[in-house]
Amino acid sequence: EIVMTQSPAILSVSPGERATLSCRASQSVSSNLAWYQQKPGQAPRLLMYAASTRATGIPARFSGSGSGTEFTLTISSLQSEDFAVYYCQQYNNWPLYTFGQGTKLEI
Amino acid sequence: QVHLQESGPGLVKPSETLSLTCSVSGYSISSGYYWGWIRQAPGKGLEWIGSIFHSGSTSYNPSLESRVTISLDTSKNQFSLKLSSVTAADTAVYSCAAYSGSYRPFDYWGQGTLVIVSS
C-alpha cells in the first residue's frame, strides 16, 4: 500500500498571504497525484490532478507541483473561501487509491 | 454533469451488514466511468473503500476486502455498498464518487451520508 503523508496537519495563515501545503508518498507515484478541497458539511472538490493541472473552474491562485514522492499545493493569495481542509490522493497504484490525512488551513 | 446521491439506514447494529445505495443521474452507469465508495470517520481523513467498473469488475481496499461487496444495478442506474460484520470503528460519513477512466482522480462526489454503528 502506498502511504500518503501530509504536512502540516494544521496551517494558520492570514488572508492575502501565501499558503504552502505538502504531501509525501511512501513510494513514487509519478505525477498521478490529486488535491481536493473540503469545506464543513460539503463533499470534497477536485482542485488539481496530474500534480499540477487545475480542474475545471479552479482559480489560478491554486498551483501544484512535484513528482515522484514530494508534492506541493500552493495558494498564492488566500481568500476567505479558501479556508478548508485539503487532501492529497495518489492514483498511480490504480485501482487501489489512497488519501493523505489532510491539512486544515485556518485563519 | 454527473450527480450522485447516497441513501440507506443511518443506524446499523454491531455485527450486522451496512447497506448503502448510490443513485446516479446525468449519466448511464453502464456506459462507462468508474464508481467508488469512500468513507470518513469522525475527525479523520478520507479512506477509499472500493470501486466498481462499468463492466462490473471490482477492486477493494485490502484492509476491508474481506467484508466489502460493491455491485451495480444498471436497471435502476445505481450502485451499492455492503459492509458486513460492522463495529463502532465503521461509524463514518460514506460517500459515493465517480471517475472518468483509469488513472484518474475522483471527478464527482455525492454529499455523503452518516452511518452510525451502535446497538
Cβ-defined contact of A102 to B46 (cutoff 8 Å): yes
Confidence of residue B32 (pLDDT cuts 50, 70, 90): confident
Q: What share of chain B is helix, strand, coil (3-state, %, to 5)?
A: 5, 50, 45
**Among residues B61, B6, B60, B56, which one has the least CA distance to residue B33?**
B56
pLDDT in tens, B88-98: 999 999 999 99
Query: A16-68, pLDDT tens digit by residue?
Result: 999 999 999 999 999 999 999 999 888 899 999 999 999 999 999 999 999 99
Indicate the DSSP class of residue B69: E
Length of chain B: 119
Nearest chain A residue (CA) to B5? A43
Q: Provide the pLDDT confidence category of residue B101 given band limits of 50, 70 and 90.
A: confident
Interface mutation vs chain B, best among A1, A97, A99, A104, most B CBs within 10 Å: A97
